[in-house]
Structure 1
Amino acid sequence: MSKQTQGATQPAPLLDRSDVRVKHAHGVGESLRAFVDRIRAGDLGSLPVIVGLIIIWTVFASLNPVFLSADNLVNLLFDCSTVGVISLGIVCVLLVGEIDLSVGSMSGFASAMLGVLWVNEGWPVLLAIVAAIVVGGVIGALYALLLNRLGMPSFVSTLAGLLAILGMQLYLLGSDGSINLPYGSPMVNFGQLMIIPAVVSHVLALLPGLAIVVLGLRTRERRRAARLSAPSLGGLLARAALITLFLELVVAYLDRGRGVPLMFGVFLGLTVAMNYALTRTRWGRSMNAVGGNREAARRAGINVRRIYTSAFVLCAALAALGGVLTAARLASASQQAGSGDVNLNAIAAAVIGGTSLFGGRGSAWSAVLGIIVIQSIASGLTLLNLSSSLRFMITGAVLAIAVIVDSLARRSRVTHGRA
C-alpha cells in the first residue's frame, strides 16, 4: 500500500489536539487533575457558593431539624422568587461592569402601580402588570441614555433614580400608604398558594437532563464538523442522568410538603431563558465582551451603547416584575415595599452567586444560588428566634467573603493568563 493510500485512509488530525504543548485530559483521573488545575488558576465557577450553601444548611439543620423540613423549604422557595427575579436583572448590569442601585425602589413603585391601576382604577390585572413592567423598562432606558450620551456613571444616575422613584411610589400611594389587593384573587393565590401539580413537577424535572443531551449532541456534531475534539457521549449521558436524578429527588422531597411553588417555577423559567440568552446568543457573548473590555468590544464591531441599553432596560423591567411578585406575595402594595434590604439582597445575591463586580464574568444561575443562600440565612435565624440584626451582619459577612474570593480568583486568573 502506497503512502498516499495510507494517508487517505487515516482520519484528519483534530485541530485543537495538534499542539503538543497543550495538555488534554484522557480518562477520569486526568479530568479530575484538570479540574483541580482550573480551580488553582482561579476558575472557580459556582464551587464556593455551593460549598457555602452546604455549610449553612448543615449548621442550621443541626441547630433546628425543622429547617430542612419540606414545608419550610417550600416557604423558602416562595420567598426566594420575588427578590430572585430582581437579582436576575442585577446580573445583567454587573456583567457589563455597571450597577443599578434603584432596583428596590423600582420594585416598590411597580407594586404601587399595580395597586393603583388594578384596585383603584379598575384596570384588568394583566394590563396593570404589563404597564408596570413597561414603565420599568423606560426608566432603565433613561439610565442607559444618561450613561451613553452624557457619560454619567451608573452609580450616580441610579442613586438619583432611587430617590426619585421612591418619591413617585409615595405619591401614588397617597396618605393611606398602602393598598390591599383582593384576597382570594388569582394574583394573590399565585403569590401565596399556587403549587405546581406533582406529576407536572416530575415531568419538568426531566427537561434539564433532556436539554443537556440535545444541546450536547448538537455541540458534538458542530465540533466534529469543524475538526475539533468533542466531549464523550458517555460523559454527556452521565451528567444528564445525575442532574435528572438530583432534580427528581428534590421534587419528590418537596412533594412531601406542599410541593414546588408555581412562583418559583416562573423564576426558574426566567433563569433558564436568561441563561440561554447569555450563553448561546450573539447578544450574550456581546454582554460578556463589553464587561471584559469595552474598548476591545467596540473595536470588534459590537454596538456597546446598545448592549448597555439592553442591560439597564432588562434590569429595571425585571425589578418591576419582582415588585409585582412581591405585591402578590404580600397581598398588598405599601410604602414599605421595595425598601429595607431589597437592594442589599438583590445585589448581594448576584455577587454571592458568583457574578463578578469587575464585569465580564457571571451567570443567570448566580441569582438562583445567591438568593437561596440569603434566604437560607434568614429562614434559619427566624427558626432559631434570633434577632434580625444578626441576619444583616451575617449576610454582610458572606457578601464580603464573596467579593474577596472573586478578587483573589481574578488575581489568580491574571497570573495564570486566564483573565
Structure 2
Amino acid sequence: MTAADLTDERLRQATGLRGYATELVDRVRAGELGMVPVVAGLLVICVVLQILNPIFLSSTNLVNLLMECVPVGIIALGIVCVLLVGQIDLSVGSISGLSAAIMAILVVKEGWPAWLAVLLALVTGCAIGLLYAEIFNRVGIPTFVITLAGLLSFLGLQLKALGAIGSVNLPFDSGLVEFAQLNFVPAWLSYVFVLLAAAGLFVVGFLHAAKRRTANLSARSMQFLLVRSGVLAVGLGFVAWYLNRTRGIGWMFVLFVVLALVLHYALTSTKWGKAVYAVGGNVEAARRAGINVRLVYASVLAICTTLAAFGGVLGAARLAAANQASGGGDVNLNAIAAAVIGGTSLFGGRGTAFAAVLGMLVIQSISSGLTLLSLDSSYRFFVTGVVLLLAVGVDSLARRSRTTHGRA
C-alpha cells in the first residue's frame, strides 16, 4: 500500500481534527512537506532577530517590512510560474528596470496619464515574454540562455532610455507614489477583510467537502472546517490589530496578496493550472495527453515577464524614481530565491503561488533584521544564501523520500 493509499484509508476512519493530524503526519513521512519547512524557518528567524533586537517585531517595523516585500514579491510570483514548468527566467530584474524607466519617462517627460504609462509598461513586459516563448518553442534555445541574453539586452535599453542623467524622479503627489508609500487600509476595513478571508476559506472547504462526499470519497468534517476558519480569523485579526497600532496594512501589500490568491486559484482550479503542473512533472507525458505544451510555455513566460514589469513599476513608485539601479543589484537573485525558499521546486511540477509570499517574507525579514543590527549587506547575502541552500536541500530530500515511498 502506498503512502497516498494509507493516507486516504486513515482519513476515511477519522475525517475531523484527528484525521487531519493523521494525514499531515503521513504526508511529512512521504516527503510531502508543503510549506511546513518555510513557515518553521520564518518563525525561527523572527524569534532570533527579536532576541537580538526587540525593535524587529514592533508594529512600525513590520508595516515597513510588508511594504518592502511587494515589488520583488510580485516578480517572484512570476518566477514560481516559470519554475513550475522546469524553466528559469534570469532577466526579470532587467525587465522590471526597463519597465520602470518606460513608465517614469512617459509620465514625467511626455505627460502621459499614469494608468496609460503603466499599461504600456505591462504590455512591454508581456511582449518580451512572448518573444522568449517564440524563440524557445521554435528554435529550442534553453530559457537559461535566452533570458540571460535578455538580462544584458534590456539592461542596455534601460540605460539608453534613461540617458546621461540616469534618473527620472516621480512627483510625490502622483497617485502611483501615494499608493506605494502613503495609502493604507482603514482599520475597520482591515477587520472586514479578515472576516471575508475566514468566510471564504470555510466556503471553499465546504464546497470541496460536499463535492467529495457526492463522489463517495472521504471529506473534511464540519467541525474541522469551522475550527480552521476560526483559527485563521483569530490569527489574521491579531495581525490586523497589531499593525493598526501604527499605520496599518498598506494597500500595496493587499494587492500583492490578491495577486497571489488569483494565481493560486488559476494554478489549482483551472485547466491551465493542471496543464502547468503536468508539463512540469513530465513534459513528454503531458504532450501525449493532448496538452498544448508550447502554449503552456508561452503563457508562463508571458505571465512571468508581465509580473516583472509590474513589480518594477511598483518599485519605482515606492522609491518615487526610476534610475539606472532600478531592477539591478539583487532583484534577480531575491526573486528566484523567494520562490525556491517558499517551497517551489527547481525540478518543476511542485510549488504554489504562496511560495512567493512566504519566501519573500523570509528574505525581507533577514534584510530588515540585519539592517536593524547595523550589519552591512555582506551578512544579508551570506545568510540568504545559506537559507536558499537549506531550502533546496530540503526539496531534494523530500523528492528522495517521495521516490522511496512511491516504490514501497
TM-score of the superposed pair, with normalisation by structure 1: 0.93
Give the C-alpha shift of residue 22 in structure 1. 6.1
Larger deviation, residues 293-302 vs 316-325: 293-302
CA distance in structure 2 between the aligned counterparts of 1:98 and 1:269, rounded to whole angstroms: 25
Q: In the alignment, what sits opposite 1:48?
A: 37
CA distance in structure 2 between the aligned counterparts of 1:418 and 1:102, rounded to whole angstroms: 39
Gapped runs of 5+ residues in structure 2? none
Give the C-alpha shift of residue 418 in structure 1. 8.5
Matching residue's letter, 1:253: Y
Gapped runs of 5+ residues in structure 1? 1-18
Q: Say which of 276, 291, 308 aligns to 2:297.
A: 308
Q: Secondary structure at the match of 2:322?
A: strand
Q: Say which of 377, 381, 387 aligns to 2:376.
A: 387
Q: In the alignment, what sits opposite 2:141?
A: 152
Q: Secondary structure at the match of 1:24?
A: helix
Matching residue's letter, 2:374: N
Q: In the alignment, what sits opposite 2:251?
A: 262
Higher-Rg member (1/2): 1
RMSD, matched Cα: 1.5
The reply on whether 1:69 has 2:58 as its aligned counterpart is yes
The reply on whether 1:223 has 2:212 as its aligned counterpart is yes
Q: Say which of 235, 240, 252 aligns to 1:251.
A: 240
CA distance in structure 2 between the aligned counterparts of 1:86 and 1:349, rounded to whole angstroms: 10
The runs of 4+ residues in structure 1 deviating greater than 3 Å are 19-22, 27-31
The reply on whether 1:23 has 2:9 as its aligned counterpart is yes
Q: Say which of 121, 130, 137 aligns to 1:141.
A: 130
Give per-residue Cα distances to partners, 1:115-136, cap 9 Å, x unaligned: 1111111111000000000010
Give per-residue Cα distances to partners, 1:192-218, cap 9 Å, x unaligned: 111111111111111221112211222
Q: In the alignment, what sits opposite 2:227?
A: 238
Q: In the alignment, what sits opposite 2:348?
A: 359
Q: In the alignment, what sits opposite 1:411?
A: 400
TM-score of the superposed pair, with normalisation by structure 2: 0.96
The reply on whether 1:188 has 2:208 as its aligned counterpart is no
Q: Secondary structure at the match of 2:406?
A: coil
Give per-residue Cα distances to partners, 1:389-409, cap 9 Å, x unaligned: 000011011111100111110
Alignment of 1:111-130 (within 5 A): 111-130=100-119
Give per-residue Cα distances to partners, 1:300-348, cap 9 Å, x unaligned: 1111111100000000000000000001000000000000000000000
CA distance in structure 2 between the aligned counterparts of 1:357 and 1:263, rounded to whole angstroms: 28
Question: Does the CA-based 8 Å contact 1:323-1:338 persist in structure 2?
Answer: yes
Matching residue's letter, 2:363: I
The reply on whether 1:371 has 2:371 as its aligned counterpart is no
In 2 relative to 1, CA 418–125 (structure 1 residues): closer, same or farther, beyond 3 Å? Answer: farther
CA distance in structure 2 between the aligned counterparts of 1:145 and 1:92, rounded to whole angstroms: 17
Give the C-alpha shift of residue 20 in structure 1. 9.4
CA distance in structure 1 between the aligned counterparts of 2:187 and 2:180, rounded to whole angstroms: 18
Q: In the alignment, what sits opposite 2:158?
A: 169
Give the C-alpha shift of residue 57 in structure 1. 0.4
Q: Secondary structure at the match of 1:314?
A: helix
Give the C-alpha shift of residue 75 in structure 1. 0.3
In 2 relative to 1, CA 97–70 (structure 1 residues): closer, same or farther, beyond 3 Å? Answer: same
CA distance in structure 2 between the aligned counterparts of 1:264 and 1:170, rounded to whole angstroms: 29
Q: Say which of 82, 92, 97 aligns to 2:86.
A: 97
Q: Secondary structure at the match of 2:219?
A: coil
Give the C-alpha shift of residue 231 in structure 1. 1.4
CA distance in structure 2 between the aligned counterparts of 1:103 and 1:332, rounded to whole angstroms: 19
Q: In the alignment, what sits opposite 2:203?
A: 214
In 2 relative to 1, CA 315–244 (structure 1 residues): closer, same or farther, beyond 3 Å? Answer: same
Q: Secondary structure at the match of 2:34?
A: coil
Q: Secondary structure at the match of 2:61?
A: helix
Q: In the alignment, what sits opposite 1:296?
A: 285
What percent of counterpart residues are identical?
57
Q: How many residues align?
A: 401
